[in-house]
Amino acid sequence: MKASVIGAGSWGSAFTLHLGRQNIETQLWVREQNIYDEIVRKKENRAFLPDFIFPSSVSFFHELKETVNKTDVVFIAVPSKFCRSIYKQLAPLLSSNQILVSLTKGIEKDSLKRMSEVMEEVFLPYFHPKISVLSGPSFAREVAECHPTAVVIAAKDFGLAKYIQQLISNAYFRAYTSNDIIGVEIAGAFKNVIAIAAGISAGLQFGNNSTAALVTRGIAEIARLGVKLGSKKETFSGLAGIGDLVLTCTGKLSRNRYVGYELGKGKSLDEITSNMKMIAEGIITARSSYQLAKRENVEMPICEEIYQVLYNNKSPRTALQDLMSRKLKNEYYY
C-alpha cells in the first residue's frame, strides 16, 4: 500500500518518518518551495525536524495532485487555519477509495467546526469520505526518536479505525481505537488552551501544585463541553484527553506551553509569536473555546481567562488570581 502525508511541519515530517520506517511507500507534500528543495537534496527537514534522515521509502512532492496520486491513505497534518483551503484543493483529486486521516488538533475559526466536520462538508459534494482522526500524547521529535508512544484512532466505522491501527502500530508506536470522533477532536483541540494556562503558571514561577490544579480542572471543563456536544465522558480519561493534556501542560517541547510561559514572564503575544516558526494552535482555539462555551452555555473558566489574556490584554497574574477567587463549589466533572 501507499500513503500520502499532507504537510511537512514537525508533526507531518515525524509521521512521514514513522510511516517510512514501517516500509510503507510514503509521499510527503511540502508547501514551501525552499524547504522542498532542501529536503529533496538533503533527505532531511532541517527547518522543522532537523537531524533525521528520511528512509528511501519516502518521496517528496510540491504538487498536491502528484502527492495523492494512487495512494491508499491520506494523512493530513496542516494547521487548522489552513485545513479548509487544503481540503478544497484535495477534494477533486481524491476518490471514495482513499482513506482520510486528520492529524490536526484544532477548531476552525468562525464556524467552530471540528476538522472532521469541515472534511465532510468539503468532500461530500465529490464523494462520501472515509474519515478518521488520530490524536493523543505525541510530541513530533519524540516520535522521530522512537520513544514509546501511544495514540488513539477514532472513526465512526470501527473497521476503518482497526485498519489504521494495524497500519501504523509497531514496537514503539502503539495505536488504540475509538468510535468517539467528537470527544477525540474536542480533547485534542482544547488541551492546547489549558497548556497556555500551565505555561503562564510556570512563567509566574508557580509550582507543581498549580500545574496539577490546572490539568485536573482543565480536563473537567473540556469534558463538560465535549459531553454537551455529544461525546463520551470516558474519552477524556484516555489518551486523547488526560494523556495529551498532561503532556502538553508539562512537556518543554509544547509550543502552547511555551506561549503561556513567555506571557507569564511579561512578553506580549505579538512578541512571542513573531519568533516562532510553528503555529501554537491554542491561540486560535482560545477564541473558539470562549465562543463555544457561550453558545452551549457550558462553564469553562480556565479557557475564558486565557481568552481574556490573549484577546483583551488581561494580566496573566490577574487571570490566575481571578480563577482562585471564584465562588467556592463542589467538585464535579460533567
Q: Which of 77, 66, 65, 92 has the alpha carbon at shortest distance from 19? A: 77
Annotation says 191 is catalytic: yes
190: Cβ–Cβ under 8 A, 6 or more apart, which residues? 107, 222, 225, 285, 289, 303
Sign of torsion, CA 18 190 185 102? Answer: negative
- Packed helices 316-324 and 255-264: angle between N→C axes, nearest 10 degrees: 100
Q: Amino acid identity of 175? A: A
Separation of alpha carbons 47 and 120, rounded Å: 32
Q: Which of 96, 95, 94, 114 has the alpha carbon at shortest distance from 104? A: 114
Separation of alpha carbons 288 and 294, rounded Å: 10
Cell of 62: 510540491
Cell of 165: 491501527
Q: Amino acid identity of 326? A: R
3-state secondary structure of 295: helix
**How many DSSP H helices and E strands does the chain contain?**
15, 10
| 96 phi, psi to nearest 5 deg | -65, -15
Residue 277 CB: number of other CB atoms within 10 A? 9
3-state secondary structure of 99: strand
Catalytic one among 105, 113, 130, 191? 191
CA of 223: how far to CAs of 30, 100, 196, 235, in Å?
35, 26, 18, 8
Catalytically annotated residues: 191
